[in-house]
Each structure stands twice: as C-alpha cells, then as structure tokens.
Amino acid sequence: MSINNDNGVSHHLYAIWPVHMPNDYLNWLNQAQIEDEEKGIRKSILKGIPYGNGVWVGNVVKSFGLEQTLRKVGRPKIKNGG
C-alpha cells in the first residue's frame, strides 16, 4: 500500500493499517499541534505511556500491563510521619 503527497510522490507504508485510513490523512498529519497536545505527546514519550484520551489510555495500559508507567517515579511518600 502506498500514499501520495501533494507533489505526487508515492511513499510505501511499512505495514497494512489495522483500520481504514482517512482520505484526508496527510492533511490531518501535517496540522500543527496545540500546546496541550504537545505536552501530552512529550509526557507520553518521556514516561513510555500510550498517547490518547483517558479511556483509551486506560484500556491500553490494562491490556498490555503498563500500569507502572502511570505511577510517579521513586518510592512512595511515607504517610503519617512513618
């Protein structure tokens, strides 16, 4: 499968999509992200967690056993002074 850019250049995909590719995919892909999206993407990359809405992330985390990626780094704080 391949997709064409605005210049008519064809690029081959490495794998077949598991879902239907939207007709306006390249336009969507090339849109700038808003600041909140960029923060979410950075967090996802740094912590190794899936990027998406809360419900979807929760489902993926549960399905793949990634619960540790949602926890804060380090030891838990001691409650009630020890």
Question: Is the separation of the CB atoms in 49 and 70 below 8 Å?
Answer: yes
Q: Write down the pLDDT at residue 72.
A: 79
Average pLDDT of the chain is: 82
Helix residue ranges, H only, the chain: 25-29, 35-47, 54-64
Q: What is the pLDDT of residues 47-73, one digit of tens each?
A: 888 898 889 888 998 999 988 888 877
